[in-house]
Structure 1
Amino acid sequence: MKMAIAGGTGTVGRHVVELARERGHDVVSLSRSEGVDLVSGRGLEQALHGMDTVIDVSGIESMSTKKNVDYFTNSTQNLLAAEKKAGVRHHIALSIVGIDHATSGLYAGKRAQEDAVRHGGVPWTLLRSTQFHEFVPLTIKVASAGPLVVVPKMFTQPIAAREVAEALIAAAESGPQGRSTDLGGPRTEELADLVRAYLAKTGQRRRILEVPFPGPMGEAMRRGDLVPAPGAAVGRQTFLEWLETRSGGSGQEK
């Protein structure tokens, strides 16, 4: 199968590219560093020529609702328009568990993306997963002020990025299926506990301040609305098992 991966250099995308090639697929990665701009559409038509399937795992690092909605609306519409011209037969997008309950930031962007995919005119599959294990160090990075880490009170069920990639490749090989079964990690956790474990493993002496996030988003975090409902697919690797794969306790991936 000829497959294009939008966001192929990202956290999940690099696993998707690697696994797809291991399974014998002909893979093209789409990213700005590789000459393709999803927002402007630059390079898309040429890159998608002859492709059978597109897997979209692209994204931006922003907490702004407007920036996320604008990004996912524009990039998805550009992808779908180029796919129709190229004769692509299957569009797969990675979304997030809980976006029906949390309507700001990245979650709002993902709602816009899903809507564009459903009405984009290309046969589609949507896979919602929970946050990846890498969400924990990202939280520490963006929420640190000196020796203090401000952590929202949140239930989460993190999953290994590679296992999400496996599910996306399986979806590509199965063909369009609409909304597929949600995917989460093997355990429901409190985010503050995961942050403590990460700080201890990486030798960082910081104090955690757990606070309730305001508004509907914060309520969804505290109620557990961002973890999968019963019947969801469940991954294998726990956060602590993932943490043990970090080399030498330095927090750097092997």
Structure 2
Amino acid sequence: MSIGKFAVAGATGRLGRHVVDVLTERGYQVVPMSRATGVDIISGDGLAEALTGTDVIIDAASWHGSDQEAATEFFRTSARNLHEAGQKAGVTRIVLVSIIGVDKATGGFIASQQVHEEANLSGPLPVRILRAAQFHELVGQLLDWQQGDTAYIPALPTQLVAARTVAEALVGLATDPDAPGTPVPEIAGPRRQTMAEAAELLGARRGVRVVGVDNPDMPDAQAAADGAFLPSPHATLAGPTFQEWLDAQL
């Protein structure tokens, strides 16, 4: 069966806008879904109309905060609404992005993504999942959250990846009729570094001194320090590196 029409949840967000761009560049029909386009996946407003004639839903929506309870409620509700409305509209499957290491999380935002996966897998529509490393764009957000000319950033190992790179992998998973579902595919950047090391590169451009710190109060801090959220051996590693991505922003 030919698949030509995609609805993108979170279409104006950090990842979703790239997903819309990639689909458009590859010649697919795209229905952007966000509150800015009149579609609310939590209240359900505009959802049925947006999904009319849609073949596949790509769920790139996220909760913009670290509170586990609020994020969990968001993901549980959005999954239920997308499945219910998608089933009524004749959607063939849902493809969603998650986080590498989500199966090892016991608390915090990453644990809410675990609920997101489970809620989707228990729904009526077939589901494909892509787990991604933290985005390059997260580094600037971490610096923005702090005040003054010194920023204290967790010295946790990561393998940052560009949101555009994740979008390309997500679209590939959505459009490949024979994409394998197990093990769950992963996408990460090509270079391992700590979050603080990446922040130092951006901080140098902003005139901000970055200090790497341990954060024992962070959920799953020890597991993260031990590499629980690093890509597995079967992960796809794709550039640009954080330094290359940063250079391209100029």
TM superposition score normalised by structure 2: 0.93
Q: What do residues 182-234 of structure 1 show as CA deviations (whole Å, max 9, x unaligned)?
A: 1111011111111111111x232334251323265211221111111112111
Q: What is the root-mean-square deviation in Å for CA atoms of aligned residues?
A: 1.4
Taking only the aligned residue pairs, the percentage that are identical comes to 37
Within the candidate set 122, 126, 129, 2:129 is matched to 126
Q: Is the 8 A contact 1:89 1:123 kept in 2?
A: yes
User: Are 2:68 and 1:53 aligned?
Assistant: no
In 2, distance between residues paired with 1:135 and 1:75?
Answer: 23
Write out aligned runs for 1:42-191 (5 A): 42-142=45-145, 144-175=146-177, 177-179=180-182, 180-191=184-195
User: Are 2:37 and 1:34 aligned?
Assistant: yes
Within the candidate set 235, 239, 247, 1:236 is matched to 239
Q: Is the 8 A contact 1:68 1:108 kept in 2?
A: no
In 2, distance between residues paired with 1:81 and 1:220?
Answer: 36
Write out aligned runs for 1:11-22 (5 A): 11-22=14-25
In 1, distance between residues paired with 2:114 and 2:43?
Answer: 21
Unaligned runs of 5+ in 1: 248-254
In 1, distance between residues paired with 2:214 and 2:13?
Answer: 29
Structure 2 SS opposite 1:19: helix
Q: Which amino acid aligns with 1:14?
A: R
Structure 2 SS opposite 1:150: strand
Q: Once the 2 structures are TM-superposed, how far is the Cα of residue 172 of structure 1 from its aligned partner?
A: 1.3
How many residues of Structure 1 are paired with residues of Structure 2 in the alignment? 245
Instruction: Flag as ranges the 4+ runs of structure 1 deviating above 3 A.
Output: 175-180
In 2, distance between residues paired with 1:123 and 1:140?
Answer: 39
TM superposition score normalised by structure 1: 0.92
Q: Is the 8 A contact 2:149 2:207 kept in 1?
A: no
Q: Which range is displaced more, 229-238 or 206-215?
A: 206-215
Relative to structure 1, the CA distance from residue 34 to residue 191 in structure 2 (aligned partners, 3 Å threshold; closer, same or farther) is same
In 1, distance between residues paired with 2:49 and 2:206?
Answer: 47
Structure 2 SS opposite 1:158: coil
Q: Which range is displaced more, 51-60 or 133-142?
A: 133-142
Unaligned runs of 5+ in 2: none
